[in-house]
Amino acid sequence: MKSYCASGYCKGHAMAGEAINVLPMATTIYCHIAADDHCPSSRDTCRTGGGATEDPHDPNKAAEGDGSAAYTQHSWFVSDIDCPSCISKVKETLKQLDGLLSVQMTFATLRLTVEFDASRLNQSEIEQTVIELGYGLSDVSRDLPPNSVMSKILQQKQLLALGGLMIVGGFFSYCLPDLSAWAFWPASIFGLLPIVRGVLRQMEKGHVFGIETLMTVAVIGALVLGESFEAAMVVFLFMIGEKLEGFAADRARTGVKALMMLTPDTALLINGSERREVMADSLNPKDIIEVRPGDRLPVDADLMSDRGSFDESALTGESLPVERMAGDRILAGSVATDCLVQLRVQSKPGENAIDRILSLIEEAETHKAPVERFIDRFSRWYTPMMMMVASLVVLLPPLLAGQAWDVWIYRGLALLLIACPCALIISTPAAVTSALAAAARKGILVKGGAALEQLADIRQVAFDKTGTLTLGKPDVTAVISFHQPEAEWLSLVAAVEKGSNHPLALAILAEIERRDVEAAVADHITVLAGHGVVGTVNKQTVRIGSPVAMAEVVATMPDADSEIVRLEESGNTVACVSIEDALVGLVALSDTLRTDSREAIDRLSMIGVGSVMLTGDNARTAAAIARQLNMDFQAELLPEDKVHAIRVLQLSDSVAMVGDGINDAPALRAANIGIAMGKGSDVALETADAALTHDRIREVADVISLSRRAMTVIYQNITLVLALKVVFLVTSLMGITGLMIAVLADSGATVLVTANALRLLRKQTD
């Protein structure tokens, strides 16, 4: 467990000078999480080669210490990307560079991020490699590109020039009919040259089969056949199609781009009495910043002012400003609405709420939906196969049946263009990107296309109780003593619970503070996952746990059992306190249901999804909550019991688990889909496949509905593309459609599937 010391679990239970142990049961549960690549602390340890406490943003880190290589990370935005196949070319080519450690680039953001060994590879080599593939690069910047009418016209200068040459060719063809066969050669060559350059660059990098190769073969073939007008029209329509595809793809990324613009570049840093404007990326945890009304927060921060009102709609979907008090966490991108506020920075550079959302969206393509992975594999052999089929179409009729060569060469070229797989490749990621952006806009983070597809199959949702169905802010309703003054044993309880972040522990500590009881000092604390906590105070063993976990202790006090039953039947959670295995008191706590819990269960029922509550609380309290929500429940479950309950449910249904605590992490991992509450523990958030940033559980039904609509769109896109290809393959072979229609069919299909995917971005009425 040593490498896991930076996790939320240990943070929640450790305090200065205090030894924290986890008993073997807990170690068994969490060791596999710590070793998993989802665990942040283990990942940091692997990357730095040392403890997770090293600062990953220290520029001297790599150059000092153990003499490890000077690893560098850099990001760019890549332009001229039309579909995921272009991204694959960039990534595969860069992976061939000596010294490159990792490369990440997604269709969702077009942000290329590489990590490389600066002693073996420099930044300019990476940039040159991408540029040689025919794509543009620009450093990551928040500045918007020029948006004037003139700038838009200049961006289309190549298309306008080609259009001009087409007009000139048409004029000469009309005025000089004898030269009409050559009139469109200049336009054809002008349009073909950049395509040929792209083919040559890609061939040098080992990429032979692409739309550029198919276009080059088709245009050259048309020129050889004397169809210069058709050749010119093919490249002209191809260029228009690419512009339309780029526009449609850009619209699909609109939601993600909006997120990228939510945080300002600068912040007002306070240093004593001095105030100065600094770059937001230079802020570090514990810095003090000031935010004026109407300004957005550049980082995650805790409110230091007594109060403040914030518009969090960009992150949570809440339409009204939210009132926050001193100590509350405010996420980056929120807008201060009513007064000047001071805040203490909590997030490191590049790790605020917006950055985490973008990272999750970018990570999506590494967790592709099964249908998307199938399409990727299919497209690798599809294009070479279709080139072989086109070759047979060209050769067999003339050789075997004496047909005219020029007719079948022309039909073979048309078939090549129809066979282009671009529309098929983009059909899935366009829908996935739109769905992820739509979910993020509502405050739901889904970690990839695989999770999105699995969400569509969910038929049962299991909920944790405390902090999920309830607010997780219980209050103490009763304190009952057995043969010992309250103040004496409450002082020992405060010592053992001090430093814990568990909702019940916090409520008990708050009650002890209200009673003005001074806490003792614990010498040793051991956390018993699912069983409570035990500590040594003044050489006495103090234990706090549930009645079930401490059944043997409760049995020694005949009056205790009836008190526990009475309290639990009133909807309370009961914590038992023992000193040296003798029961000294009970603490009763009651939690409050979330305002949207009943609505969440009702929404799930409306879409045909069942609900069950899995809780470690006692059966009587669980039954009281379940009756209010009209749902099934299982109570008195340890973490391993929750996993078993999930396994049983999975025998008949696909199951999602919604939870927020450390004890929920194994169940979140065991379920088909784990959904963590946004303010839950670090372990739960890292383990889950999705997260609710705003803690509104009514959105669980929304994300399942969204995933179902996304899968419907994906299957519609695939069906549309394949149907169009079959129709135009037949008409091309029959000579009904030619090269121009082939290009229009391919580009039109790409635009259609992207436009269909954009429907997922529409706001749905609640």
Residues carrying an active site annotation: 464
Residues 47/48/52/54 CA torsion (nearest 10 deg) = -140
CA 170 to chain centre: 51
At residue 112, the 3 state secondary structure works out as: strand
Q: Are 574 and 480 in contact (CB under 8 A)?
A: no
At residue 61, the 3 state secondary structure works out as: coil
Q: Are 289 and 270 in contact (CB under 8 A)?
A: yes
Q: State the DSSP string of 467-521.
A: IIIB-S--EEEEEEESSS-HHHHHHHHHHHHTT---HHHHHHHHHHHHTTPPP--
Q: What backbone phi and psi angles, to 5 degrees, belong to 16?
A: -55, 135
Report the alpha-carbon distance of residue 50 to residue 510 in Å, rounded: 38
In eight-state DSSP terms, residue 535 is E
Q: Are 592 and 690 in contact (CB under 8 A)?
A: no
What is the token pair recorded at 247? Answer: 């526009």
What is the token pair recorded at 654? Answer: 């696909």
Q: Nearest to residue 34, comparing CAs of 54, 6, 13? A: 6
At residue 32, the 3 state secondary structure works out as: helix
Per the listing, tokens 């814990």 go with: 500
Per the listing, tokens 């935010």 go with: 291
In eight-state DSSP terms, residue 302 is E
Close Cβ partners of 28 (under 8 Å, ≥ 6 residues apart): none
CA 238-88-704 angle, 5° bins: 95
Close Cβ partners of 420 (under 8 Å, ≥ 6 residues apart): 211, 214, 383, 746
In terms of Cβ atoms closer than 10 Å to its own Cβ (0-12, 13-18, 19+), residue 188 is: buried
What is the token pair recorded at 158? Answer: 């190549």
Q: Are 474 and 503 in contact (CB under 8 A)?
A: yes
What is the token pair recorded at 709? Answer: 């609509």
Q: State the DSSP string of 191-214.
A: HHHHHHHHHHHHHHTT---SHHHH
Pairing of strands 20-22, 522-528: parallel
HEC sequence for 163-182: HHHHHHHHHHHHHCHHHHHH
Q: Nearest to residue 658, comparing CAs of 502, 448, 458? A: 458
Please give the C-alpha separations between residue 232 and each of 227, 284, 407, 420, 456, in angstroms, as whole numbers. Answer: 9, 57, 19, 19, 46
CA 752 to chain centre: 26
Neighbours of 160 (CB within 10 A): 12
Please give the C-alpha separations between residue 9 and each of 6, 20, 474, 678, in angstroms, as whole numbers. Answer: 8, 10, 20, 16
Neighbours of 88 (CB within 10 A): 16
Q: Nearest to residue 358, comparing CAs of 563, 623, 140? A: 140
